[in-house]
Each structure stands twice: as C-alpha cells, then as structure tokens.
Chain A
Amino acid sequence: MALVFAGVASHAPGITGRSDRADPEVRDRFYAAYHEMAAAMRRTEPDALIVVAAEHFANFFMNNMPSFAIGMADFYDGPIEDPEWLGIDRVRVPGDRDLSRRLIERVMHHSDVSYAEEWKFDHGIMVPLHFLTPDYDLPVVPANINCQGPPLTPLHRAWTFGESLRAAADAVPERIALVGTGGISHWPATPDSGKINERWDREFLDRWTRNDRSALLDYDDGAIYRDAGQGGFEIRTFVAVSGAAGGATGTVHFYAPIPIFAVGCTIATYDLAGPGGAQGPVGGQRTAGEVGS
C-alpha cells in the first residue's frame, strides 16, 4: 500500500552488550528515544519492517560481495555473535518470503539486488530489533548495502536503492516501515574504538534532516575514512532512507556521543505525511503483472 514509516537508528553492539558501563542518564534518554521510535512506528500500523543494514561479514564476504542484498525467507536466526557478549538472546525472527519476493521483483526494476533465502542476523539488525520489535512480532525484510569490503557501493547508488525500495513499498498492498541503521562516525573494532567525531556527525545529520540529496552525496570515501572512520562508510544506510523518503524532511529525536557504545547514538525519522513526503520518487503505482508474478 505505502511506505508508512521511515527512520534511522544506531546499532553498535555496545548499546546492548555494555549497557551497564554507560552514563545512566544519557543511556536512558537514548533508550527512551529508541522506544519512542518503536511506538511511533507502531502507530503507523505497519505490516512489515524493512531494515537497511550494513552487515559485518556475517553473511557476505569478498568471495561474492553484493552491492545490495535483500532477504527472502520466512525466518532469520540471530544474533550470530555470542548472545552474552551482545546482551541479546538467540531468537528466530519472522520474515515474509512472499512479501520479500514481491518487493525484490519491484526493486529490480531500478536497482540490481541480490536475494538471499538464508541470512543470519548480526548485531547490525539485532540491536535495532531489540528496541523496535522486542517481541519479534513484526515480519522483517532485511536489506544490506556493502559498507565493509571495498570497492563499496557508491553513495548515489545507495540513494537510488532507497528510491527503489520506496517504489516497491508503494506497490505492494502491505503497509511498510523502513529503518536504516549504521554509523555515523565511528571506528569500530579498531584501536580507535570509542572515538566519535561529533562535529562531523551533526553536519551529516543536518544534511539528512533537510534531505538535501546533493549535500548527502557530496562525500568521498577518502574523506569519510579520515574524518569519520571506516564506520562512517555506513552512512550509505542513512542515505538510502533519504532516497526512500521522497523529499520529506526529518527530525533528529536523539543524538549524543556515547564512547562506551563506540558511536554517536542517533534516532531520527522522516515526516512522510509532511510536505514532499507523500511523493513517490520513481513511481509508486502498482501495475498489473508486476507483483507476485
């Protein structure tokens, strides 16, 4: 039927795995913002949730690395990491193979995407789900952008991927929520882990909330690596959501560097009901023969 919700959120494993070591005041405000995002998403009555992630070599490796992938299964197991290390129990998350297939078929009209009938979730999806659907009662469609193994997906292709997801969401009868999850600046799992470039993050979020396409695409990976670390490559997931938002502007509900979580913790959404938000960027109308064939 439509894309009914679009937002972005952080996914660093420390968010759940090291929660006891963060400043409780900041941490609890962050968790509250995450839970409010979940409530806002539920108010839109979604039938399924697409998570645009930047997975970390849990499924995809340099032997066959897709620029884009979408899951097409009725269930997904996770987390792949040690549950105790991550602070999230192993679960089977519901998917919707039929919906995935219809979305993928439509996405393929504008973006070349790999599909995966098997996909193990790592922290990049499990941490957001821990807050957004803690009872795992909403079917999830995982999507991935290669943010890890260069050559990386170009930013403008991430934008187009978002547009393709929007067109697909608008073409199926279900109500679709979309959440991108990644960076922003961080240096995960390296000697610089814990460093956060707040100034860079706030500049990026300004571009993101204005949904300024040219400004969002005006980054190159050399500068991102220098200023925002290899974790900054994950802005691709945020940019995809911008592309899907069809001109809507956004609001940052929470941003604070939490070094113990190794990332500037972020919760932000687009106002799809506002000016520009209702526009389907590349044609949202379903046409006969395109769906479920």
Chain B
Amino acid sequence: MSLYYVQKFLFELNRSEELQARYREDRSAVLDPYELTEEERAALIEPDIGLLFHFGVNGQILMHFAALHKIEWSDYLQAMRDGVERHGPVREGVYAVTGYEGVDAHSAELGQAPAPPGAAAERAGGQ
C-alpha cells in the first residue's frame, strides 16, 4: 500500500495538462515512474473512484481526477459512498482518523437528523 504515490500521481496529473494528455493516451505507461501496487495501478487505470477513496486519497485531490473523467459531482459522491460500503472504512490518511461509517451514521454521531431524501443532490452542488 502506497497512498503517498497514489496521491502524488494524482497531484501531478491535476497540475499538468501535458501529463493529462499522456494519461489519456496510455494510462498504464504514465504510472510506471510511481511506486504502486497492482491494486493501486488498477484503480487509477479503471478509474475506480470508490476504491481510491477507500485507499484514503484526499477528496481535494480526488475530485479533480473525477472531473477529468467527466464524472458528475453527485456520481462522484455516490462512488465514494459505494466504495466505503464495498471495501470498508477508509484505511489510511486523513479520513481514517476515526473511520468512516457513512453519512447517516455520521449525522447521528453529531446529533443531527439523517440527510433527507434529495439531500444528496443538494450536496452535489457544494464542494
């Protein structure tokens, strides 16, 4: 597991139009310089947003990667929720500090009402 290199690739991809062009051309080749596990390579090539979130990729980095792949905001949020449901809590990084049990569990923890239907769409407008 090498969250650092997963995030480093995405950080550099987000900043460089030239790297984005090469990524579009050959997703596998541009990953070679980075110390990645096969699982991480596959998630970056797919791309599997939910799995990347489960790895612990920071949302401030991941959201631009999703945008690069023209993934709509609400689909991006849902992909992260699905990833946590499928693979378990975020395993490393900022979001692993207290684990992540889902939006409604988090609301309950804060003494707040669960998100009403349609809230996901509303969230989709925010960052």
Contact = CB atoms under 8 A, between A and B. Distances in A.
Contacts of A252: none
A261 B106 CA distance: 19
A145 to B, nearest CB: 15
Contact of A57 (B14, B67, B95, B115): B14
Most buried by A among B8, B58, B67, B102: B58
Contact of A56 (B53, B60, B97, B123): B60
A222 B60 contact: no
Contact of A191 (B81, B110, B125, B127): B81
B59 A85 contact: no
Nearest to B102: A191
Contacts of A13: 127
Interface in A183-234: 186, 188-195, 197, 221-222, 225-227, 230
Contacts of A47: none
B23 interface: no
Interface in B1-44: 4, 7-8, 11, 14-15
Contacts of A261: 125-127
A188 B14 contact: no
A159 B84 CA distance: 36
Given A191-B103, A230-B94, A14 B64 contact: no
A293 interface: no
A14 B15 contact: no
A123 B81 CA distance: 25
Contacts of A81: 64
Interface string A45-81: 0000000000011100111000000000000000011
Interface residues of B, number: 38
A227 B126 CA distance: 19
B46 interface: no
A277 interface: no
Contacts of B61: 57
Contacts of B64: 81
21 contacts: A12-B126, A13-B127, A18-B126, A22-B125, A58-B15, A80-B14, A80-B15, A85-B67, A148-B58, A148-B94, A189-B60, A189-B127, A191-B77, A192-B106, A194-B126, A195-B103, A195-B107, A259-B122, A259-B123, A260-B125, A262-B127
Interface of B: 4, 7-8, 11, 14-15, 53, 58-64, 67, 77, 80-81, 84, 94-95, 97-98, 100, 102-103, 106-107, 109-110, 112, 115, 119, 122-123, 125-127
